Amino acid sequence: MPYAISIKSLNDTSAPIFDLWDEASGFEDNPSMRALAYPPHITLAIFPTYVAQVEGILEEVFKSQTRVSLTFESISYFENDHIVLWAKPRPCDALLDLHARLHRHFDASLCHEHYRVRHWVPHCSLATMVGKAKAADAVKWATQRRNQFSVEFDFADFVSFPSVRVIKEYRLR
């Protein structure tokens, strides 16, 4: 069972993400993001197995962390077995600093390679299971979809998944 550390939005500023989830789900057989029963989020780290020191690290990193406000300005995609559609935040030093500070606390080899420092692409997933049949339409939608909005990420947590289960949660100041 994998584990993740994320920041998430539990306030009204996340409404544009929910709207994009609903739009993007039209490219999936089943809406992947609504099925998570988990709010809009930015994943900072993924671990394939439980890392014992993580909970202590989280306390250190998040005890004085302020909320992170991100402005999103475009939609992008990753090509895997399925297309993953995601909202792209404008570059933000506060987010990059938080990510780097978190990762200084543990051995990089414990974390999934795509979430390591210098390999991580900050993103807020909109649809994770776009099949090949709708891939071209989804990519066209992503490259043409432009709207700017800001979201305030006001909580951080440590979860296990799939079937997201929050293990520890922190309110950001």
Residue 147: its pLDDT value, please?
Answer: 85
Question: Exposure pattern of 44-80 as b/e (b: 16+ CB <10 Å)?
Answer: bbbbeeebeebeebbeebbeebebbbbebebbbbeee
**pLDDT computed for residue 52 by the predictor:** 87
pTM: 0.96
CATH number of 3-171: 3.90.1140.10
pLDDT along the chain (173 residues), means of 10: 98 98 98 97 97 91 97 96 97 97 95 97 98 98 93 98 96 97
